[in-house]
Structure 1
Amino acid sequence: MGTLSGIRIIEFGGIGPGPFAAMMLADHGAEVIRIERPGASFGPHALARNRKAIGVELKAPEGVEIARALCRDADGIIEGFRPGVMERLGLGPEMLLGDNPRLVYGRMTGWGQDGPLAQTPGHDINYIALAGLLDGIGAPGGPPVAPVNYLGDFGGGGMLLAFGMTSALLGVKMGAPGQVVDAAMAEGAALLASMSWGFKAAGMWQDGPGANLLSGAAPFYRTYACADGGTVAVGAIEPQFYAALVAGLGEDGAGQMDAAAWPARTARFAAIFATRARDAWIAHFTPEACVSPVLTFDEAAAHPHNVARSTFAGSAPAPAPRFAATPASPPKASQPGEWTDRVLAGLGYDEPRIAALRAAGTIG
């Protein structure tokens, strides 16, 4: 089932954004064969779901040949090594596209395949720092705050690679040749800030944490602590929503967009929100005030709206988006290496050869 049913992807095992991209493709019907090192303990968890995981040692010549054979009959691959690693293994684009000219070769890195930082190590926080995003995240007057690893690894990385893979796969279906998809987390993170760059061009952007309307400077778009230690999120931007917010707080609504008055009004709002518990405030406001509880993971999974929409499946988010005619299959846990024998049998390996490869440590 799924809109990508019939697509085969070979995933070279990694962590974070590459597996996230593969998970998205697998969630929507692609057959994803994940190549892991023998003895790997990647799964089971959400990023490993819906895979046919096999254990293959790519440092062994016969392991490389197994991977190459799989790629000859695949629609795409995903790899997340540093630039040059796949080439040194004998599995670079020149080799695999030579075998299979229709192959979409997806590459996930922090900095991209070339450039001064291409071989430099890094993590999400480094990528979003150089992309300009980190500067604006945090409380005014303090240093920027790391927003977990959502923006670089997953938004600017894995999701962008999934989009790139799907675009290139569609291109092949329309007659284009196979090609390399060079997805860099730093560039994807920069792309996520496109609207903010528009604000900057219009003279509506200030550098620094918490300095802009959507980063906490405005009293009507930020979070507030409550009496019980809980937090509410306020997003009352439009005039009618702001009117509902200030009515619920017992405040006047004059001068909503007077930025000079924002600090004082924020202080007043904060003092008022501190007088009641989080859920008491949620019950107090009308929906038009755009006030929501800041939920933990467990609370989010139990929230009535998320339950009604089946937003979560078991202990993880369910596949998204939703397709009316070709819905995604329910997520299925994937165990490390569980498909090794069946996948090799599909390549024509008989039982004695599989046993010999296992004895040599080439597969697991």
Structure 2
Amino acid sequence: MRVVIIGVGTYGDVAPYTGLGARLREAGHEVTIAAHEPYAKLVTEGGLEHLPLPGDPLTALTGSLSISAFKEYGEQLVEGLAGIAERDADLLLLGVAGAPGLHVAEAMGVPSMGVHLQPIEPTGDFPPVLSLFQRSLGRWGNRRAARLAFESPVAGPVLVGLSTKMRAGLGLPPTTPRTLYRRRESMRWPVFHGVSPLVVPRPADWRPGLEITGYWWPLRPRGWQPDPVLRDFLASGPAPAFVGFGSLAGARAEEYTELAVRALRRAGLRGVLQTGLRGRMSDDVLGVGDVPHDWLFPRVTAVAHHCGGGTTGAGVRAGVPAVAVPVMNDQPFWASRLMALGVAPAAIPFRRLTPARLAAALSAAVTDPAYRQRAQALSARVSAEDGAAPVVEAVNRL
């Protein structure tokens, strides 16, 4: 089958689909990943076809979260997604942010399935993952709030307007978010979640067709080798701590880097930083660019990160303690899971991050052996899972 995976977002929203796409290719399918231009190399180095999507998600995320920046990005994105309807494809696999692909699949007359990296389906087990609600609203309240995010035009008027425009451009009749959601539920639209059920147990109140499969591990770039400077740094002393703040780090690289260096010195730790600046900061701190987390994380003593879903999974797989520094969106949810699993001390919301707080959390993660013991036990079980297999089986059945 000709499969198009729609991976909208930044690096962490695209990388897991390279691993999933490779498994589908091994099963005999033709795989294309639609992603923004900055992540083309990530896709093609995995031997998969890249379909460029217009717009820059980082601009929308760093534009002070303004409605105008978000709307401009959304308009570009919708135009790019609508263009997929002109391709020859037999199946669309949609990430959370690629949900408008449902309209594209309808226009093409082909099936679609969800391949989500966040558990956004309504449940009483936890509050909506992609909302401002970070505390439980009770089982009924949690479910109701999550469902409103799907059904209510008030929840996202900009998105609803873009969806209406998109359907008109595709020659589809107008509809409402509530109608779309009810249609999706009545047909038990399948959604596979690329996260371990050990990290997020499948909610018992989910309907059939919603599955948590296990992680889809990103591919390493073909022929990748570690920079000799990084390799020599790792070998030159005790295992360092890793500190990284994800795709947004480049916006204030100098400030974030200085904060991390001061924290590492207070904690008496060596460090590898992914905070936007590269090169030697001192004898015991090295700044790096993109380095495969599956190679780097097992070589460090702790991982302090923004709690993006992919970075969270990589840390779990590596079996090292975490320090959770969530920034936005789904990141507080993943931070809460790391704490609940006992592999991280109390999270530090990014807006409250200081060198002293980061140093204290790093020291706790490194010196308390219980964090490492629990992390290693969890890693052994998660690494044994095959998260891609259920998706491949579902595609083969089509």
Fold in common (TM above 0.5): no
More helix by share: 2
Larger Rg computed on CA atoms? 1
Larger relative CO (CA 8 A, sep 6+): 1 or 2? Answer: 1
